[in-house]
Amino acid sequence: MPARLSQAQRERFLSGRHVAVLVTNGTDGHPVPTPIWYFYRDGAFHFRTEYGAIKTQNILRDAKVSVCVQEERAPYKAVIAYGKAEVGNKLDWLAGMPRHYLGLIGGIGYERTAQHLIESGPEVSLVVRPERYVTFDFGADTPLVGRLWLLAKRVLPPWL
């Protein structure tokens, strides 16, 4: 059985560099998951996107969303947040997101070469203030020898 994250552990985890999956409700009632970069600040998820994006239009019609953020490597950890999203004006401080995810050099490269190709419409911010969370942490279930092996796998060749 996975452990639950404390509030402090959850806040620290969400402040890291992970790709979130923002799930909105489509016009046909089906969930529409979208991988997206985010910042987590003051207990809320902040996203930047285009006004014409499907996720933005879905939120304007139905504000109920969920956000899943997970650790992609074992031992696995995840936070799922449920709440309502708000569409707002472009927030200048969100422009630092490419550097957060790609590093200084990658962020500068993104801003100079790819940004105009990827971000083509009017920009808005999406803010999700979670109403409840579900968390998982399988780290406590992983014995020390397993954690050491997983750490070694990060530096060993992939065929081992």
- The per-residue b/e assignment along 42-72, b for 16 or more CB within 10 angstroms, e otherwise, is eebbbbbbeeebebbebbeeeeebbbbbbbe
Whether 2 maps to a domain, the answer reads no
Whether 93 maps to a domain, the answer reads yes
Whether 95 maps to a domain, the answer reads yes
| Number of domains composing the chain | 1
Whether 39 maps to a domain, the answer reads yes
Domain of 77 in residue numbering reads as 7-153
Whether 71 maps to a domain, the answer reads yes
Whether 73 maps to a domain, the answer reads yes
CATH number (domain holding residue 131): 2.30.110.10
Whether 14 maps to a domain, the answer reads yes
Give the pLDDT of the chain (160 residues) as one tens digit per residue.
Answer: 788 999 999 999 999 999 999 999 999 999 999 999 999 999 999 999 999 999 999 999 999 999 999 998 777 899 999 999 999 998 787 788 888 898 999 888 877 886 666 667 788 999 999 999 999 998 777 667 766 776 777 777 776 6
